[in-house]
Amino acid sequence: MREILGDVRLVRGDLLDQGSLISAVERVQPDEVYNLAAISYVPMSWQQAELTGEVTGLGVLRVLEAIRVCSGISASRSPSTGQIRFYQASSSEMFGKVRESPQTEQTPFHPRSPYGVAKAYGHHLTQNYRESYGMFAVSGILFNHESPRRGAEFVTRKVSLGVAKVRLGYERQLRLGNLSASRDWGFAGDYVRAMHLMLQRDEPADYVIGTGVTHGVGELVELAFAVAGLDWRDHVVTDASFIRPAEVDRLCANPAKAAGELGWEPKIGFEELVAMMVEADLKLLTESGGHAEDWFGSDAW
Ligand code: G4F
């Protein structure tokens, strides 16, 4: 953690505590605020629906209020120049049971989990603060973005770690849920670039960020095992305990607005991403003697 942090200075703040956010904004006097904080693991949002609403939904309100109060903005007083710019991490999970494909900034929402509902609240609220107070507040509607730093509970990392454990002889099986769901998976590094670009625009606007290509969980599994020279059919077991109460079957982005207005496009494709994650986990488990999973807590999701 320390190597990653470098010169970064940490300031305490809690999405459940309005005062702490006001203090943090007052102390730091930021030019830009990126709200990437959330309870972000979708299955957990059924187990802790109220907490998800508080953190992932109302947390956005508290950050916006901290910025508004510290900037001295009210309904009758617009922000002066040099205002704090705000980025909200909206999610493709808001599209849920999709009304059209691929999804654009105009596609209606039909969230399928308490997480998706909370994200839709944060999305609308960000738009509302922009319209009510003239704040530079924008949302990136990000599709799934992955890297070797992804948490072990999310399917890409669960698969890359699972493949590495099988390849190195620590496990024989990988237990997964719905293999027929499809996602538009991209590389997190590319998506962070898009977030930054969104806050450098003259006018605030929301953008869909994704690759425009969708793949099934089954395809992900097949490719990841193949990278390690294995056949997934010898190792993958479907386990009903990983099936969700309501599933988002298929997501696919139309990132045309981001390409046209931000000049953004992803540099790393699906195959390269999967190979990067499997190879990183093979290295990690080899160097840690197979104990790397201890660093990620439980992977029993
Ligand atoms: O990797 P996932 O858990 O990601 P999910 O639910 O799509 O959400 C992620 O992306 C969103 C952006 O669209 C973010 F907003 C959100 O915070 C998070 O980062 O699951 C992907 C798919 C699902 O359809 C799931 O049912 O993989 C399927 N899946 C099949 N077996 C599994 C498993 N997912 C997990 N986590 N574990 C499994 O064993």
Give the C-alpha separation, 200 to 202, whole Å: 7
DSSP code, position 210: S
Give the pLDDT of residue 5.
Answer: 81
What the block records as the tokens of 187 is 């590389």
Give the pLDDT of residue 167.
Answer: 98
CA of 155 to the centre of ligand 1 (A): 6
Give the pLDDT of residue 81.
Answer: 63
Q: What is the pLDDT of residues 143-164, one digit of tens each?
A: 999 999 999 999 999 999 999 9
CATH label, 13-142, candidates 3.40.50.450, 3.30.70.1050, 3.40.30.10, 3.40.50.720: 3.40.50.720
- Mean pLDDT value across the chain: 95
Structural domain boundaries of the chain?
A: 13-142, 148-185+213-254+268-301
Q: What is the pLDDT of residues 45-82, one digit of tens each?
A: 999 999 999 999 999 999 999 999 999 998 877 776 67
CATH number corresponding to 148-185+213-254+268-301: 3.90.25.10
- Atom from ligand 1 closest to the CA of residue 92: 13
CA of 242 to the centre of ligand 1 (A): 10
Please answer whether residues 57 and 118 qualify as being in contact, where contact means their C-beta atoms are separated by less than 8 angstroms.
Answer: yes
- Atom from ligand 1 closest to the CA of residue 40: 17
Residues with a catalytic annotation lie at 91, 93, 115
Give the pLDDT of residue 76.
Answer: 77
pLDDT < 70: residue spans in the chain: 1-2, 80-81, 291-301
Name the pairing type of β-strands 215-216 and 182-183.
antiparallel
